Amino acid sequence: MTKPVILTGDRTTGPLHIGHYAGSLKSRLEMQDSHEQFLLLADTQALTDNANDPDKVRRSVLEVALDYLAVGIDPAKSTICLQSHLPALAELSMLYLNFVTVARLERNPTIKDEIRARGFGRDIPAGFLCYPAAQAADITGFRATVVPVGEDQAPLIEQTNEIVRRVNAVAGQSVLPEARAVIPKAGRLPGIDGKAKMSKSGGNAIALSASPDQIAAAVRAMFTDPGHLRVSDPGRVEGNVVFTYLDAFDEDHTEVAALKEQYQRGGLGDGVIKRRLDGVLQALIGPIRDRRAELARDPGYVLDVIRQGTEVARARTQDTHRALVQALGLFRL
Ligand code: TRP
């Protein structure tokens, strides 16, 4: 029996953080046995909003690959590949741009939010506006049917399926499969400052490569409940980042529930819950950091993993492109 194909990707704009871990790396680890999994180092997509810093995009390729391997992605089970070295994805993107309108791209909620967040206005880079078509190329290029993404990315899968239906209709056959977004139950992890999005550029992230001191400092600075002044005061757990992270990473749910109750009643200091979280995060990140440092001493190995994965991915995506050209009945020499 063939396994369902799963594709995930990360823009290579910096090392990954614990938000990536909770949001998707963990489910990728769980699915690498039951699925045929591809992990895309999305350096081409990273350029769509980082064109002025190609150096960062290049450097981050190895960083993200190291993060994948350090958390336990096994290259014998999962294929790690580099987007810019898969020309069929660029060719598919160009084809798909004919099956989508500018109005539809502008209406895409992911794009709309990002235009607002980045203050692009009408000066949005055309590549950025069109990245939903490129992401449709990624997904269909691998013939992925399962795409684990954060909730904010769900509209991209919807738009992918619209393109798939239009292409299939014109081709008069089901040449491309539709895909299903898998949204992690945990939801998106906020930044340590309580802002909705954890990001390296926002300075509110904890990297998977964080040192013990960096973890401790992040926990110390973490947003709790500004109204919780004395230990005896009742405190709020909603919007309290320490509890949000304990919910995400502390496996002792009964104890976390008891702590929440005590915190809400009053009589539990921030120091106590922060010490607990520090312990949980040190235990989570410690082994990842050590494994990452070990791998970083052998960049040749990491490069080989990417090279071999990209080779496999190249064959797969070229195959899809060929099938599509044939199904559409385009001229071939
Ligand atoms: N857009 C994703 C992000 O910003 C990265 C990505 C690129 C991706 N191609 C993909 C995710 C294909 C899933 C499938 O993180």
Q: Compute the average pLDDT of residues 142-151.
A: 92
Give the angle subtended at the CA of 268 by the CAs of 263 and 269, to the nearest 5°. Answer: 115
Q: Compute the average pLDDT of residues 122-138.
A: 96
Is the distance from the beta carbon of residue 181 to the nearest atom of ligand 1 less than 6 Å?
no
The torsion defined by the Cα of 186, 187, 192 and 195, in degrees rounded to 10, comes to: -160
More confident: 1 or 2:
2
Predicted model pTM: 0.94
Distance CA 112, CA 98 (A): 21
Q: Is 33 helix (H, G, I), strand (E, B) or coil?
A: coil
Q: Which ligand 1 atom sits closest to the C-alpha of 144?
A: 14
Closest CA to 44 of 105, 134, 129: 134
Is the distance from the beta carbon of residue 19 to the nearest atom of ligand 1 less than 6 Å?
no
* pLDDT tens-digit series, residues 252-267: 999 999 999 999 999 9
Q: Is the pLDDT of residue 186 over 80?
A: no
Is the distance from the beta carbon of residue 40 to the nearest atom of ligand 1 less than 6 Å?
yes
Is the distance from the beta carbon of residue 141 to the nearest atom of ligand 1 less than 6 Å?
no
The tally of CA atoms less than 13 A away on the side-chain side of residue 87 is 1
Is the distance from the beta carbon of residue 49 to the nearest atom of ligand 1 less than 6 Å?
no
* pLDDT tens-digit series, residues 3-44: 999 999 999 999 999 999 988 888 889 899 999 999 999 999
Ligand 1 geometric centre to CA of 9 (Å):
4
Q: How confident is the model at residue 280 (pLDDT cuts 50, 70, 90)?
A: very high
| pLDDT at position 173 | 97
| pLDDT at position 259 | 96
Q: Compute the average pLDDT of residues 296-300.
A: 96
* pLDDT tens-digit series, residues 211-231: 999 999 999 999 999 999 899
**For helices 131-141 and 87-96, what crossing angle results, to 10°?**
120
Report DSSP letters for 199-266, one per residue.
Answer: -TTTT---BTT--HHHHHHHHHT----TT--STTS----TT-HHHHHHHHH-S-HHHHHHHHHHHHHS
The mean pLDDT value of the chain amounts to 95
